[in-house]
Amino acid sequence: MLRLAGFYFAYFCHLGAFVAYFSLWLEARGYAPAEIAAVLALPQLVRIVAPAAWGWVADLWGARFPGGRPGLVALSSLLAALGLALLMQADSLQAVTALVAVTALFTSGILPLVDATTLSVLGARTERYGPVRLWGSVGFIASVLAVGALLDRQPVAVLLPIVAALMALAALSALALPQVRTAPAEPGAPSLTRVLREPRVRALLAACFCMSVAHGALYVFYSIYLVDAGYSKSAVGMLWTLGVVAEIALFLGLPLLFRNFTLRALLLASFVAAAVRFVAIGWGVGSLALLAAAQLLHALTFGAFHCAAVAAVHRLFSGALAVRGQALYASLSYGLGGAAGMLLAGWSWGALGPELTFTLCGGFAVAGAVLIAWKVRL
């Protein structure tokens, strides 16, 4: 478990620094807001297709790849680090765009591969996923705080060398991941097409898509909304941190939750919490206490949702379909759903305003809850 936790920590150290500060690097290069938004949307668009492709490669050829699945994760991490290193030398928007897209191509399959490995190692003890995965959240917070403090004293040009080094560290830690043999297809085992025909599978994936759409305004406009409402940037940063701390607490308590609640119940709770959270943000921006309470719900809207979703996908896509199942979940939820949510929020923010945009996000969470309650039995 330490080897898995170590990889999650290293990978999310890279991700925290990149997500939090890459927009500042782009701004320092002189790019316009529309150009920055287009570059930042690229990884989401790549994730629509790339995770499924990586899952197919891993399930079909992972066992024959040098080093097995850990070798595949290490290679993709190393190539991503190389892409980040080359990005330092990019001297045009076209070069930046191309390198961000290529880097996203290599990073997009990493987490589905590692999540599938973690769940294979855990076997029936899926409730232990949270305590392992929480080290990713710890790495994310540590990186955001440390790199943020450094950037207060150093130019933003130091960001990409740090991010590339952290990605290289993730590549090294991938070599220590446990070796898991891809389970061969059992005689009579359902094919991927047959599994996807099951109504509960389609409903689950559609609900996961809805959850990512619901988060669109949060990830694009939350900080802007709060700053425009008069909150300081440090207050905004503390609210973001509060959400991740709540997520870590949820991960620690996940074994207890898995013992006392079904996956379906946890999914339903996460969707209901998302509806409440986004409506509260939209209409309660004037209350710091309400915003803090809404951020605490991140424990459910991401922590409980993600853990229950990966466990459900692992149960429905078993054996030789394990990695492709996780990759499909990542593609449809975080890829297609994430991109759709950001684009929808971008239109709605100007057309309807912040309050109705967050209400619309809450509506997608309600739609996901209906799908889970109606069709999903686990």
Lowest mean pLDDT among 4-8, 146-150, 172-176, 355-359: 146-150
Position 249 confidence tier, pLDDT thresholds 50, 70, 90: very high
How many Å apart are CA 248 and CA 187, to the nearest integer? 41
Fold of domain 183-378:
Growth Hormone; Chain: A; (1.20.1250)
Give me the residue spans of the domains in the chain: 1-181, 183-378
More confident residue, 280 or 129: 280
More confident residue, 351 or 275: 275
81 neighbors 164 (Cβ within 8 angstroms): yes
How many Å apart are CA 5 and CA 2, to the nearest integer? 5
Homologous superfamily in CATH for domain 1-181: MFS general substrate transporter like domains (1.20.1250.20)
How many Å apart are CA 361 and CA 173, to the nearest integer? 37
113 neighbors 73 (Cβ within 8 angstroms): yes
More confident residue, 184 or 268: 268
More confident residue, 130 or 336: 336
For residues 72-87, average pLDDT: 94
Question: Tens of pLDDT along 159-183?
Answer: 999 999 999 999 999 999 887 765 5
Mean pLDDT for the chain overall: 88
